[in-house]
Amino acid sequence: MSPDSPRFIVDFMLGKLARNLRLLGFDTVYIRHLNRKDILTRTLEGGRILLTRAHSFPRRSDIYIIETDEPLEQTREVVKVFNLSPRPFTRCAVCNLPIEKVNKEDVKEKVPPHVFKTQNEFGRCKECGRIYWKGTHYEHISEMIGKIMG
């Protein structure tokens, strides 16, 4: 991902879209509340693009109104409109922070034994400690990318 890839802020109606964008590696803040003024301030101060379904937001270049209904369609819409190149497994889906590579030995106690046996590459979120590896989760995301890009 190039350093100038857009960063997003996603409003409360689009939680699944926010998660998908993070899984694809894009910096995405998810706002759970309704305070419109606060959302606009955070969009501007963070240099982010607001993704929303609410047509009542002002028309600005940093606000994009999502047109589709289904989360996968919405994800595809954003990837297409902003011409994004996915970098899966680089960002925690929960915390929106970059995932760090960790040594296999360091996660031995933290992943199921069959995962430890069959996987060699692991990443960890510094914030929540969640461990990521290229197992079933990866297949799920690869499938999602296939649908989005295909």
Interface with Zn ion, residue 94, by CB under 5 A:
yes
Q: How far apart are CA 18 and CA 125, in angstroms?
A: 17
Interface with Zn ion, residue 93, by CB under 5 A:
no
Residue with tokens 């501007």: 44
Per-residue mark of binding to Zn ion, 46-85 (x: CB under 5 A) = ----------------------------------------
Interface with Zn ion, residue 92, by CB under 5 A:
yes
Cα radius of gyration rounded to whole Å, the chain: 17
CB of 21 or CB of 66, closer to Zn ion? 21
DSSP-assigned beta bridge partners for residue 46: none
Among 24, 84, 99, 125, binds Zn ion (CB under 5 A): 125
Interface with Zn ion, residue 14, by CB under 5 A:
no
Could you tell me which residues come within 8 angstroms of residue 149 by beta carbon, excluding any fewer than 6 positions away? 79, 86
Q: Which of 53, 58, 105, 59 is nearest to 77 (CA)?
A: 53
CB of 72 or CB of 131, closer to Zn ion? 131
Tell me which residues touch Zn ion (CB under 5 A). Answer: 92, 94-95, 125, 127-128, 130
